[in-house]
Amino acid sequence: MAASVNETNDVTLAKPIRCIVKLGGAAITCKNELEKINEENLEIVSSQLRQTMISSDNVVSLDWSKRPGTSDISCNVDSFGDQLSFDANKFIVVHGAGSFGHFQASKSGVHKGGMDQPLVKAGFVATRISVTTLNLEIVRALAREGIPSIGMSPFSCGWSTSGRNIASADLPAVAKAIESGFIPVLHGDAVFDDIQGCTILSGDVIIRHLAEHLKPEYVVFLTDVFGVYDRPPTKPDAVLLKEIAVSEDGSWSVIKPTLQDMNKQVETTVAAHDTTGGMETKISEAAMIAKLGIDVYIVKAATSHSLWVLSGEVRGNVPDDWLGTVIRRVSR
Instruction: State whether residue 142 is helix, strand or coil.
Output: helix
Contact 298, 221 (CB under 8 A): yes
**Residue 97 assigned ligand-binding role:** yes
**Residue 278 assigned ligand-binding role:** yes
pTM of the model: 0.90
> Which tens digits make up the pLDDT trace of 200-259?
999 999 999 999 999 999 999 999 999 998 888 888 888 899 999 998 888 888 888 876
DSSP 8-state class, residue 122: H
**Residue 3 assigned ligand-binding role:** no
| Range with the poorest average pLDDT among 5-14, 181-190, 191-200 | 5-14
Report domain extents, the chain. Answer: 6-54+88-329
**Residue 203 assigned ligand-binding role:** yes
Amino acid 290 reads: A
Q: Is the pLDDT of residue 36 over 90?
A: yes
Q: Is the pLDDT of residue 265 over 80?
A: no
> Which tens digits make up the pLDDT trace of 90-109?
999 999 999 999 999 999 99
**Residue 24 assigned ligand-binding role:** no
Tell me the fold of 6-54+88-329.
Carbamate kinase (3.40.1160)
Pure H helices in the chain: 25-28, 39-53, 102-108, 118-144, 171-179, 203-214, 278-291, 304-310
> Which tens digits make up the pLDDT trace of 124-167?
999 999 999 999 999 999 999 999 999 999 999 999 999 999 99
